Amino acid sequence: MRRAIVDTGPLVAFLNRRDGRHEWALEVLGGAVAPMLTCEAVLSEACFLLRNVAGGADAVLRLCEEGVLDVRFGAGAHASRVRALMKRYADVPMSLADACLVRLSELHPAATVVTFDSDFRVYRRNGRQVVPVAMPPPT
């Protein structure tokens, strides 16, 4: 796989062996070019969702320390565009994390968003461009 932009669901599945999509996440994220891109909103969501998994939040932060995840994207520096995206997709609704990932996709057009969230099939980058996504097959 080319460069990946990682959403919360696949990150949690990657780190949690008990997750039903763990194998899919291992296969897809394991084949991605490092570092994988993400944002702090995704890290926050992942740490929260992994709070009852032994070492879960620590594993998220370790991936950052080891350079597996690149979290240099700052929502503050892109606040105007992130706000515009959230306003455009208010009826979906679009979360802060989703808006940041769409913005990352605009900044890194060759990257694929790895997600479980079908809303990414609705979202558009740069106005009308489809956001490239990798999702597991429907269950």
Q: What is the pLDDT of residues 26-52, one digit of tens each?
A: 999 999 988 999 999 999 999 999 999
Domain ranges of the chain: 2-134
Give pLDDT tens digits for 80-136. 999 999 999 999 999 999 999 999 999 999 999 999 999 999 999 999 999 999 999
Contacts of 54 (CB under 8 A, 6+ apart): none
Class of domain 2-134: alpha beta
Residue 15: both structure tokens together: 């780190």
pTM of the model: 0.95
**Model confidence over 63-91: pLDDT tens digits?**
999 999 999 988 889 999 999 999 999 99
Instruction: Output the pLDDT for position 1.
Output: 64
Which of 133, 105, 107 has its CA nearest to residue 119?
A: 133
**Dihedral sign computed on CA atoms, order 73, 74, 78, 80:** positive
Cα separation, 52 vs 90, whole angstroms: 31
